[in-house]
Structure formats: C-alpha cells, structure tokens
C-alpha cells in the first residue's frame, strides 16, 4: 500500500475579537508556546506532511512568526473574514495541487493530541468520506452541535442558529475534520451563508456532503480537555490549566518528584530528568533542561537554562537565558544568573548577580557579588577562573579576568585583571581613631537632652 500525502489546512485568520487584544489570537501562548505552533506541531505528529496556514487578522505579525517557526508551511491570506468555509477556500492553491486526505484544523484549538488527529484519517481509510472530531461536554455553549440520525452524522448547527432543543445537545464539534482526497473544494463551493451570522460555515460541509450521498462520520474523542477552543481570556486560562495538569502528570510519570504539583508551572519544552526534586512554587519558562538528580528549591524561576546532574538551585533563584550550570553547582537564594557558564562544583549562594561570565570549577562566590556587565551601551565579559575565592560584596567591572586560585578581598571593586594565585584589594584602607566613637555618641546624647529641655 502506498502511503498518501496528507495536507493539513490550519485556519488562523479570525479577528479573535473576544480576546480584546492587540496581539493576533493565534500568537497568544499556552505553556509558553504560541497557539499556532502547537496546532502545527500536533498536525505534523498526527500525520500531516504538508501544511497550509490561512492567516488574516494581524497577518503581518503572524506571517513573520511563521517564517521563523514553520518555514515548511505554505501561508495564504484571507483578506475578508467571511467564515471558516471561506477561510479554507483561501488555501485553494494548496488544495488543488494536493492528492490525498485533507485535514482542517483551527488555530485556536491547541491541545488536541496527535493520536486523536490520526484517528480521523484512519476513519477515511476505513471508508468515510468526511470524518469529524466530536466530543461530549456539560458546557456546550458556543460550540457547534452535532446532529446524528440513525448513527450517522447529518449536520452541524452553530450556537447562534440553534433552537432551544438543539442547544440541549451535548455532543459538540471540535472543528477538526478530515476529507477524502479531492472532496473539499467542491463541498465549499456549495456552502451558502444564509445563517444567523451571514458567514460561510465550513461545518455546513456535513449537510452538503450528506445531501450528495457522501458518508460523514463523527469520531468522538473521549477526553474533552483536548478540544477547548480559545476565544477569550477565560478559555486561554482554562487551556493553560489543562496544559499544566498534563505537564505535571508527565513529569511525575518520568520520575521527577513534585512536592506540590499544582504550584509548579511548565513550558511546552521543559525537560526534567529522573530523580529531580522540585519544591513548591517553581516556574519553568521556555528552554529549560534539568538533568537527573538535581534539586530545584522553592520559588525559583528558570528560563533558557541548563542544569547538570547534582546541582542545587534556589530557594529564590533566577536562572535567565544562557545560564549553564555544570555538575554539583550550587546556586542559592536571591541569585540571578544570565548568559554564564558555571563549572563543576562552584558555589554562588547568596544575593548575587552573575551576567555574561564564566566561573571556573570549585570557585566560591561570596554574598552580594555583582558582575557589572553593562556600561549603558555595550555588554562585557567577566572571566573568573577555577578555585577562586571571591570575597563578599565584590564588584567585577567587566571586561575583567580573575585568574585561577586568586582571591578578592571583601568589598572590592575589581577593575583590573587579577593574575593566577594573586590577592586583589580594591577598597579604601580602614582607619582607626581611638576614643572618637564614644566621644561622638556622648556629644549627640547631650544635643538631644538640650533640645528636650528647651521645649
């Protein structure tokens, strides 16, 4: 059997009016990833080898985004928003040149699993002309309702066109459909716009197809959380909650301990090894890779960071993009690390900022140390060698290098390179004035007493 090519058409042109946003709806994120990227990823993993995206509202922004994240997708523009059938037609060029099944997905439905999508095209192979993903919910308001007669899907009625009896139907349209090769353009042409919204509804392909004697079937998904369509901010938050629930379950299934799972937040690409312990209230923003056997302590925020085995991070640590912690590194409370490699066994434990730097193995960075990496215009590098002892409250004015085995005195401002094994002082020398402390205190006390007796 030859495997047919499968085209996925993703509709993403809608105004997203209910989001009340300057950002196009499909660029809003769930799990740190724009909705459109999640949909395209599911389509690919669900079997699509060709991708077409229909954009419209905020087209420039969406196009620029797709150029970066989905250069394999063909992009079409729907110039007026006349409904989902009209949107699908905008991709007519891709449809006309395609032989094989066609999937249609919505850009605002990001949680559908690849296997669920694959089940639709399987239904085509088993003889259906059109297969549509439906789901049952106790909160059907806003979704199109599936009309099933004698076990066959015959029509979909949109919320705005539904009479009270139809509104009680709990079987809903997810928006995801699959069409047998070559069918879709002819069906769309026959779809009219005599409905409450005056739009061309792609959902009418079911009634049109059925009238032509085609076989339309509903595949009913068993997990309604996959089909949340995002139209407003409340649905965006609901989708985020579903994503987080899935991510927490997966992290634990893979061997991580989440002490308080509901307080840990993941991104779509977070990678946690086995036997990672994550304490409460930790956020993994995108791009984080945490190796096995590490502890991420409470209230830490990680983004674009790598943490190697045996490291301990936090509590209250912030790892920003480019933070790269080697094995057994300790990063403690109120420490921020950005674009810096910290080698094996080094410790940066208290109240410190390390940016655009490298720190050698076993080096100890004292409390309150700061790399001054920015002169207001340019960023500069700080290089700290291995086995260095950085005294508390050291300021490293970059560019600067501190050699292996060197020591900086507490409170130093280091502006010149420190050779290997040297000790650097960069602070005013302390002076002692015998008796002056007590005399000063006595003078102040007398002044206060005089002021009091005058009132």
Residue positions annotated with a catalytic role:
350
Cβ-closest position to Ca ion: 229
Build a one-symbol-per-residue string for 96-125: x at contacts with Ca ion by CB under 5 A, - elsewhere: ------------x-----------------
Stretch that binds ligand UD1, among 169-177, 320-328, 334-342, 432-440 (CB under 6 A): 169-177
Residue 14 CB, shortest distance to Ca ion, in Å, is 7
Give residues with Cβ within 8 angstroms of 257, minimum separation 6: 275, 276, 277, 278
Stretch that binds ligand UD1, among 41-49, 102-110, 317-325, 397-405 (CB under 6 A): 102-110
Residue 156 CB, shortest distance to ligand UD1, in Å, is 6
Stretch that binds ligand UD1, among 81-89, 113-121, 254-262, 337-345 (CB under 6 A): 81-89
CA distances from 368 to 74, 220, 409, 411 (A): 52, 59, 13, 9
Nearer to ligand UD1, 201 or 353 (CB): 201
Residue 245 CB, shortest distance to ligand UD1, in Å, is 20
The answer to whether 405 and 421 are in contact (CB under 8 A) is yes
- Kindly state whether residue 144 participates in binding Ca ion, applying the rule CB under 5 A: no
Stretch that binds ligand UD1, among 6-14, 292-300, 324-332, 382-390 (CB under 6 A): 6-14
Cβ-closest position to ligand UD1: 144
Cα dihedral 302/305/309/314 (nearest 10): -30
Residue 158 CB, shortest distance to Ca ion, in Å, is 11
Rounded to whole angstroms, how far apart are CA atoms 111 and 261?
20
Build a one-symbol-per-residue string for 217-246: x at contacts with ligand UD1 by CB under 6 A, - elsewhere: ------------x-x---------------
Rounded to whole angstroms, how far apart are CA atoms 392 and 33?
40
Give residues with Cβ within 8 angstroms of 253, minimum separation 6: none
- Kindly state whether residue 112 participates in binding ligand UD1, applying the rule CB under 6 A: no
**Total chain residues near ligand UD1 (CB under 6 A):** 30
**Total chain residues near Ca ion (CB under 5 A):** 3
Lookup: tokens for 398: 């970059």
Residue 218 CB, shortest distance to Ca ion, in Å, is 19
Residue 140 CB, shortest distance to ligand UD1, in Å, is 9
- Kindly state whether residue 95 participates in binding ligand UD1, applying the rule CB under 6 A: no
Work out which of 12, 19, 323, 354 binds ligand UD1, going by CB under 6 A.
12
Residue 230 CB, shortest distance to Ca ion, in Å, is 7
| Torsion sign (Cα): 31, 35, 36, 41 | positive
Nearer to ligand UD1, 31 or 229 (CB): 229
- Kindly state whether residue 11 participates in binding ligand UD1, applying the rule CB under 6 A: yes
Work out which of 116, 121, 203, 373 binds ligand UD1, going by CB under 6 A.
203
Nearer to ligand UD1, 86 or 347 (CB): 86
The answer to whether 228 and 141 are in contact (CB under 8 A) is no
Burial of 230 (0-12, 13-18, 19+ CB in 10 A): buried
Work out which of 32, 110, 175, 310 binds ligand UD1, going by CB under 6 A.
175
Q: At what angle do helices 59-69 and 35-45 cross, to 10 degrees?
A: 50
Nearer to ligand UD1, 14 or 426 (CB): 14
- Kindly state whether residue 229 participates in binding Ca ion, applying the rule CB under 5 A: yes
- Kindly state whether residue 110 participates in binding ligand UD1, applying the rule CB under 6 A: no
Rounded to whole angstroms, how far apart are CA atoms 110 and 36?
7
- Kindly state whether residue 199 participates in binding Ca ion, applying the rule CB under 5 A: no
Work out which of 48, 130, 153, 156 binds ligand UD1, going by CB under 6 A.
156
- Kindly state whether residue 21 participates in binding ligand UD1, applying the rule CB under 6 A: no
Nearer to ligand UD1, 176 or 348 (CB): 176
Stretch that binds ligand UD1, among 166-174, 294-302, 348-356, 390-398 (CB under 6 A): 166-174
Please report, as ranges, the residues that interact with ligand UD1 according to CB under 6 A: 11-14, 54, 56, 78, 81-84, 86-87, 106-109, 143-144, 156, 158, 172-175, 201-203, 229, 231
Please report, as ranges, the residues that interact with Ca ion according to CB under 5 A: 108, 229, 231
């Amino acid at each position: 059997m030859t495997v047919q090519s499968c085209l996925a058409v993703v509709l993403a042109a809608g105004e997203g009016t209910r989001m009340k946003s300057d950002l196009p709806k499909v660029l809003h994120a769930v799990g740190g990833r724009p909705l459109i990227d999640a949909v395209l990823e599911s389509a690919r993993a669900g079997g699509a080898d060709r991708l077409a995206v229909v954009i419209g509202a905020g087209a420039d922004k969406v196009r620029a985004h797709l150029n970066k994240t989905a250069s394999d997708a063909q992009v079409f523009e729907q110039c007026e928003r006349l409904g989902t059938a009209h949107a699908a037609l905008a991709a007519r060029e891709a449809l006309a040149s395609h032989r094989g099944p066609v999937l249609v997905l919505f850009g605002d439905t990001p949680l559908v699993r690849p296997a669920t999508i694959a089940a639709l095209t399987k239904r085509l192979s088993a003889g259906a002309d059109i297969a549509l993903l439906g789901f049952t919910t106790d909160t059907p308001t806003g979704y199109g309702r599936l009309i099933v007669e004698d076990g066959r899907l015959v029509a979909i009625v949109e919320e705005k066109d539904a009479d009270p009896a139809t509104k009680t139907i709990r079987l809903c349209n997810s928006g995801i459909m699959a069409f047998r090769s070559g069918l879709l353009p002819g069906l769309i042409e026959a779809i009219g716009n005599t409905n409450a919204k005056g739009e061309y509804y792609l959902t009418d392909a079911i009634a049109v197809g059925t009238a032509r004697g085609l076989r339309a079937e509903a595949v009913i998904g068993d997990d309604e959380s996959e089909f949340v369509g995002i139209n407003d901010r409340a649905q965006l938050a609901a989708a985020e909650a579903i994503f987080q629930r899935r991510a927490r379950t997966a992290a634990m299934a893979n061997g991580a301990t989440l002490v308080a799972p509901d307080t840990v937040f993941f991104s779509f690409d977070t990678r946690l090894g086995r036997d990672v312990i994550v304490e409460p209230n930790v956020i993994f923003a995108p791009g984080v890779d945490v190796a096995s056997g590490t502890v991420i302590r409470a209230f830490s925020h990680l983004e674009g960071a790598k943490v190697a085995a045996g490291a301990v991070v936090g509590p209250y640590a912030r790892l920003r993009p480019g933070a790269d912690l080697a094995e057994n590194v300790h990063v403690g409370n109120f420490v921020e690390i950005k674009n810096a490699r910290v080698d094996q066994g080094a410790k940066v434990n208290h109240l410190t900022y390390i940016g655009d730097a490298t720190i050698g193995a076993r080096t100890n960075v004292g409390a309150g140390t700061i790399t001054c990496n920015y002169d207001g215009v340019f960023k500069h590098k700080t290089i700290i060698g291995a086995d260095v002892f950085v005294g508390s409250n050291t300021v490293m004015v970059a560019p600067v290098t501190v050699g292996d085995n060197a020591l900086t005195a507490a409170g130093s401002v280091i502006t010149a390179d420190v050779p290997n094994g040297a000790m650097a002082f960069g602070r005013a020398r302390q002076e002692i004035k015998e008796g002056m402390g007590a005399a000063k205190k006595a003078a102040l006390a007398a002044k206060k007493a005089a002021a009091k007796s005058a009132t």
